[in-house]
Amino acid sequence: MSNRMSIKAEGREFTMERIFDAPRELVFKAFSEAEHLKQWWGPRGWELTACDIDFRPGGVWHYCMKCMDPNQGDFYGMESWGKSVYQEIVPNEKIVYIDYFSDAEGSISEDMPAPESTVVFQEHEGKTKVISISRYDTPEALKTVVDMGMEEGVTQTWDRLAEHLQAVQP
């Protein structure tokens, strides 16, 4: 499963697993520091145009992904705002947060699913295995995001993370 990503959507859970060729501390930083997140978060052709992070339990990460790729047709120029509220942080091991859709002011979108997501970082033969589990309120809520193309989006995002991790290592 070197560069392979496993994705499973069943019941109320969306699970992703992948091994990254980087030390655990670095992979954790990539998920927790704005300087890193700006380099890889979002599908290909999208950039973080806003990235305000207060990385602590009770803290908030408010961000905007904007499509900068004219080849993406109707998506070009589109903005997608998100807001994560951190519940639990264990340095280099685990991040738990509620993941909301929001607007530019940080107001939460009540009609969009908001899963509780747990990201676990495990040592794996000198590399790092990342396991992300997002739990939705209902199977229908999970289906909503899957139908929006979440699998392709997260696959591209984690591909960008792998490329970023290679670029920042000696």
pLDDT tens-place string over residues 92-105: 999 999 999 999 99
> In this predicted model, what pLDDT tens digit does every residue of 118-150 receive, in sequence order?
999 999 999 999 999 999 999 999 999 999 899
Q: If you count them, how many residues does the chain have?
A: 170
What are the residue boundaries of the structural domains of the chain, listed by start? 5-168
pLDDT tops 70 at residue 1: no
CATH for 5-168 (2.60.120.650, 3.30.530.20, 3.90.870.30, 3.40.50.1100): 3.30.530.20
Cα separation of 42 and 48, whole Å? 8
Q: Which residues, listed in sequence order, are joined to residue 108 by a DSSP beta bridge?
A: 102
Mean pLDDT over 3-11 rounds to 89
User: What strand order describes the sheet that includes 60-67?
Assistant: 5-10, 13-20, 127-135, 116-124, 94-102, 79-90, 60-67, 46-53
- The answer to whether 17 and 130 have CB atoms below 8 angstroms apart is yes
> In this predicted model, what pLDDT tens digit does every residue of 39-89 receive, in sequence order?
999 999 999 999 999 999 999 999 999 999 999 999 999 999 999 999 999
- The answer to whether 88 and 58 have CB atoms below 8 angstroms apart is no
Whole-Å CA distances, 77 to 20, 86, 105: 31, 29, 19
